[in-house]
Homo-oligomer: A and B are copies of this chain.
């Protein structure tokens, strides 16, 4: 359970306090607002604030004076046109802010996306909680032999058990030593008055990378979609993909027309190089093209056949 009772109460209090606004309101996302969507064993994603909705994208594209009076189908058509033709600036006019709790090694992948605003819980100022990510048995995979960065077969039996033991035991032990080095109780007083306690900014280095951290993360819709395209993808590491999937769900509640267009023209889309396209044209013309003589490398040929749903 990722939240304490006190935290749950703070969230419920925030959810209960409604106000009036002239701004665009996205009812689907209001329903989810502040709620923690659980991710992994102790993590979560929750939407803290948002700006804009589907109509705001249309409004910005038209630089209009009011909310516009066009039919919903016309707005949807414009949104799909903008997405298909890579017009990014109208999507930048919507903004969303998340509070995320996540393991440090996931945070390190995530932060590579630079076009976002971040406030992370500081381990220089504060003491991290005693929580670490331990994978479930269904995630405990061997190194893939075909894909240099992917996962292969699941570990079984004794090896799996031993791995879980090591992860749990090392995280616990290093955390206990972190706490010993700090020598502080919850009120900030020394546990052992005979010792000084190590500075927080130093003691944290003893923690393992599966320790949980948390941050506020804010981005615009264009960059959110870019993040989701890379991280909700089957090739992304499972531990970040589950965060992206929870966020995709919030996007659907927030901007349904934009998210539909994103699914069609980005997530489910494929890019064919000029060489691949010319092969597709030849195949459609009835030619029996082979890899040899195609101009594609074996790897590209295999990727193309997979895309087309044919045997390589």
Contact = CB atoms under 8 A, between A and B. Distances in A.
Interface of A: 3, 7, 9-11, 13-15, 17-25, 30, 33-34, 48-52, 56, 59-61, 63-67, 77, 81, 84, 86, 89-90, 92-93, 95, 97, 99, 103-105, 107-108, 111-112, 114-115, 117-122, 124-125, 133, 135, 139-144, 148-153, 155, 159, 163, 166-167, 170-171, 173-174, 177, 180-182, 184, 195-202, 204-210, 214-216, 218, 220, 230, 237, 263-265, 267-275, 277, 280-281, 283-284, 297, 299-300, 307-310
A97 B92 CA distance: 11
5 contacts: A17-B22, A49-B52, A140-B202, A206-B208, A209-B209
A24 B140 CA distance: 42
Contact of A18 (B21, B207, B273, B281): B21
Nearest to A211: B209
A120 to B, nearest CB: 7
Contacts of A196: 142-143, 152-153, 155, 159
Nearest to A174: B170
Contact of A142 (B25, B108, B197, B307): B197
Tell me the interface secondary structure of chain A in the complex.
mixed
Contact of A274 (B159, B174, B268, B271): B268
